[in-house]
Amino acid sequence: MLSFTSKIPTEIPSKSVLVTPSPVISESPTVLLQTDTFPEAVSKAINAANLTQSAKSPDEWKTVVSQWEAAIALMRTVPSSSPNYAIAQQKIIEYQKNINYALKNAVGSK
């Protein structure tokens, strides 16, 4: 029977590695509270609708247009987490039609 004696070292020499841990900086997460702008948007829309009833001059109709635009801008910022989100999306379309009506009157009335 043949017997081999290994002359290969069984231990692998290791290198020393110095590891310096870097400090962990923990930042508090920034929480952004989304304000539900739906009530303010409705208020602007009511104001625009009321102005529509009495608008006669081009300047008055331009004011109506700007109120509808403000209402739309606010409706667009209603957070998707709001229970009013779906309604807000519908109102944007409705208010755009109202702007078109006001624009026609702003150009047509003199």
Tens digits of residue pLDDT in 64-89: 999 999 999 999 999 999 999 999 99
In this predicted structure, the answer to whether residue 4 has a pLDDT above a threshold of 60 is no
Output the pLDDT for position 9.
Answer: 53
Output the pLDDT for position 81.
Answer: 93
Output the pLDDT for position 108.
Answer: 80
In this predicted structure, the answer to whether residue 2 has a pLDDT above a threshold of 80 is no
Output the pLDDT for position 70.
Answer: 98
Tens digits of residue pLDDT in 9-42: 555 555 655 666 666 666 655 555 678 899 999 9
List, in order, residues 6 or more apart from 35 with CB less than 8 Å away: 79
How far apart are alpha carbons 56 and 45 in whole angstroms?
18
CB 54 within 8 A of CB 48: no
Burial of 19-42, coded b for 16+ CB within 10 Å and e otherwise, reads eeeeeeeeeeeeeeeeebbbebbb
- Specify the higher pLDDT residue, 54 or 110: 54
Please state whether 59 falls in left (phi above 0), alpha (psi between -120 and 50) or beta.
alpha
Closest CA to 84 of 39, 33, 34, 48: 39
- Specify the higher pLDDT residue, 94 or 31: 94
* Helix boundaries (H) for 4-84: 38-54, 58-76
